Amino acid sequence: MSKDLSILINDFSIYLEKESGFSKYTQISYITDLKKFKLFMIEYLGKGQVRIFDIDKQSITHFLGAEFEKGLSAKTIGRRLASIKSFYKYLISIGTVEKNPAVLVKTPKANKSLPNYVDEKIIESLMNAPDTSTTAGLRDKAILELFYSTGIRLSELVSLNFGNFVSSKQLIRIIGKGAKERLVPYGNKARKALNDYLQNTGRSLKIADTETPIFVNSRSERISQRTVQRNVNMYLRLVTEGEQLGPHTLRHSFATHLLDRGADLQAVKELLGHSSLSTTQIYTHIQPERMKKIYRKAHPHGGK
């Protein structure tokens, strides 16, 4: 069996595609990372061919260090290391190597970035952005209102069926990560936008088949995540500036605005479907200026 790194990466690629069960995205990520590692090793060793036994803990550490120097995030570098570790697990399973040197390399800690959110003052402008004289515009307005009203994830919204709605109580039964179920209320504006959309398409929450998708495309098929992502991004760019705008921005806005208005952190955790309170706590670090204003106004010695 060849010990050439290029051949082994190619073999690993075939294994990922045919046997691993990993998603296509994960497969591409692993192979892309390993090819970058191979190019580094060629330069690191100063020779055109790299054999698997040329690699050790030190060379892997140097590779990650070089990636840090390029300005890549800790999260990306952590994925590079995870790709190498998975590659070695495969090599051990087929008997090419006996040990995994990547196991000895520590995964870099990713810094938690503060989530983007939309200011309350421009939420109304956002909700008025879709052209509600069209079916697509009515659908998009309902999507925006539901995202902001419930804080649900993109995948959760796209998978919504009529059977998920308890319309008499304005609740949605959501199946989140790990198949965990939660009930989330939705507000009156979301209810109106949803009813306007459904009425336009000749449907109703009361009479529809429970397995029928709520949001559909022009062919009456369940709308894709990519379409929702693209459309929400477009509407957000009409009213605000920033990077990485999309459905997650409205999820973050939902949580931030609830906490701004005094909501309990534990309650927000349940609404978002977080498994850990520490995940929700990132939102408590978003509002330092607001906290300063409250302090200056409320504390006896807080003012000028």
Q: Please tell me whether residues 166 and 258 are part of one structural domain.
A: yes
**115 within domain boundaries:** no
Measured CA to CA, the distance from residue 106 to residue 90 in angstroms comes to 20
**Of 89, 99, 177, 226, which is the active-site residue?**
177
Q: Please tell me whether residues 92 and 168 are part of one structural domain.
A: no
**83 within domain boundaries:** yes
**112 within domain boundaries:** no
**Of 139, 141, 153, 269, which is the active-site residue?**
153
**Of 30, 148, 186, 283, which is the active-site residue?**
283
**pLDDT tens digits for the chain (304 residues)?**
568 899 999 999 999 988 877 788 888 999 999 999 999 999 988 888 899 999 999 999 989 888 887 878 888 888 999 999 999 999 999 999 998 999 888 876 655 566 678 888 889 999 999 999 999 999 999 999 999 999 999 999 999 999 999 988 999 999 887 778 899 999 999 999 999 999 999 999 887 778 899 999 999 999 999 999 999 999 998 888 766 688 999 998 998 888 888 888 888 888 888 877 777 777 776 566 666 666 677 767 666 5
Would you call 237 a catalytic residue per the annotation? no
Domain range for 200 = 120-294
Whether the Cβ atoms of residue 27 and residue 13 lie closer than 8 Å to each other: yes
Measured CA to CA, the distance from residue 150 to residue 165 in angstroms comes to 13
Q: Please tell me whether residues 94 and 37 are part of one structural domain.
A: yes
**Of 38, 203, 222, 274, which is the active-site residue?**
274
**140 within domain boundaries:** yes
CA distances from 148 to 83, 87, 105, 181 (A): 36, 41, 41, 19
74: domain CATH number is 1.10.150.130
267: domain CATH number is 1.10.443.10
What is the token pair recorded at 205? Answer: 């929450």
Q: Please tell me whether residues 87 and 124 are part of one structural domain.
A: no
Structural domains in the chain (count): 2
Q: Please tell me whether residues 67 and 143 are part of one structural domain.
A: no
Measured CA to CA, the distance from residue 148 to residue 46 in angstroms comes to 54
Would you call 51 a catalytic residue per the annotation? no
**Of 139, 141, 251, 269, which is the active-site residue?**
251
Q: Please tell me whether residues 259 and 144 are part of one structural domain.
A: yes
Q: Please tell me whether residues 71 and 198 are part of one structural domain.
A: no
In the listed set 39, 73, 104, which residue is the last one of a domain according to the structure? 104
Q: Please tell me whether residues 9 and 145 are part of one structural domain.
A: no
Whether the Cβ atoms of residue 228 and residue 158 lie closer than 8 Å to each other: yes
Would you call 251 a catalytic residue per the annotation? yes
What is the token pair recorded at 43? Answer: 């330069």
In the listed set 49, 74, 104, which residue is the last one of a domain according to the structure? 104
Measured CA to CA, the distance from residue 91 to residue 95 in angstroms comes to 6
**194 within domain boundaries:** yes
**128 within domain boundaries:** yes
Would you call 203 a catalytic residue per the annotation? no
Q: Please tell me whether residues 89 and 38 are part of one structural domain.
A: yes
Q: Please tell me whether residues 137 and 86 are part of one structural domain.
A: no
Would you call 248 a catalytic residue per the annotation? yes
Q: Please tell me whether residues 127 and 222 are part of one structural domain.
A: yes
- Average pLDDT value for the chain: 86
**16 within domain boundaries:** yes
